[in-house]
Amino acid sequence: MSSKRWVITGGSRGIGLATAKAALSHGDRVAIMARRLDESALRRELGADALLLTADVTDSSSIAEAFSRVRAVWGGLDVLVNNAGLHRGRRLARLETADWDAVLATNLSGPMHCIKAALDLMVGGGSVVNIGAVVGLRGFPGDSPYGASKAGLAGLTQVLAVELAPKGIRVNLVVPGLVMSEMTSEVDGKAMERLLARIPLGRVGQAEEIAEVICWVARSTYMTGAVIPTDGGLMAQF
C-alpha cells in the first residue's frame, strides 16, 4: 500500500509512540506532536526523518502552527491520530472545576482543534483515528471528567464521520482497555485489582497491541463512524 503521512498527538510515549513506530515500520512518514519532547531520545526511537512538533492541543494557535509545518514539509496529510490525553478524577463532591475544565480541553476540544487544522491538508481524503476509553462508554465511579470527555469524543466521531464523508475523510474511534502507561500508573492498587478482575482475557494490554489496531483502522478504506474496542473484552463484561 502507498506510503502515508501521519500526525500523532501525544506521540512521545505510550500508545502514541508505539503507533509511530508501527507506522514507520510500514514505510510511512510520521510526525509526533506533544507539549514536551525529548528530541535526542525520540531520534533514537524513531530515526532522523520523523517530524517532532512541540504543540499544546488545548491551544488552537499552537496547533495551527504545527500543522503549517506539516504542510511546509510534506504538502499534505493522510492520517491524524488524536491520542493526546489527560486524566484527572475524583468523586463529584470533591472534584475541582479546574480539573474538569483541563480534562475536557485536552481530551475533547484538543481533537476538535486538530481535526479542524488537518482538514485543509487532507485534500484527497484521509483518516482520523480518535482514541477513546472504556469509561467513555461505560460508567466508572470517580471518572466523570475523563468519562465525559471520552463520551464527547465518541459523539464527535459519529458526527464528523457523516459530515466529512463527502470529503473522503474517514473518522473512527479506537477504544483501548487497560493499558499500562504513565496515566494508568496513577490508578490505586485496589482499583487496579477490580479492573483486572473484570477483564475476560485476565491481563492488561500492551501499547503495541493497540497500535496494531490503530494502523489497521487508519488504512481501512470503507470504515467510518466505527467504534473499535481493543480492551481484552472489558466492555463485554461490564
14-25 helix and 39-46 helix, angle to the nearest 10 degrees: 40
Q: Which residues, at least 6 apart from 92, have a Cβ–Cβ distance to it below 8 Å?
A: 144
Query: What would the DSSP string read from start to end of 135-168?
Result: GGTS--TT-HHHHHHHHHHHHHHHHHHHHHGGGT
* Contact between residue 61 and residue 83 where contact means Cβ atoms under 8 Å apart: no
Name which of 215, 180, 217 is nearest 199 in CA terms.
180
CA 31, CA 194: separation in Å to the nearest integer?
37
For residue 146, indicate whether it is catalytic.
yes
Query: What would the DSSP string read from start to end of 155-223?
Result: HHHHHHHHHHGGGTEEEEEEEE-SB-STTGGGS-HHHHHHHHHH-TT-S-B-HHHHHHHHHHHHH-TT-
CA 150, CA 110: separation in Å to the nearest integer?
12
The catalytically annotated residue of 110, 146, 151, 175 is 146
Among all residues, which ones are annotated catalytic?
146
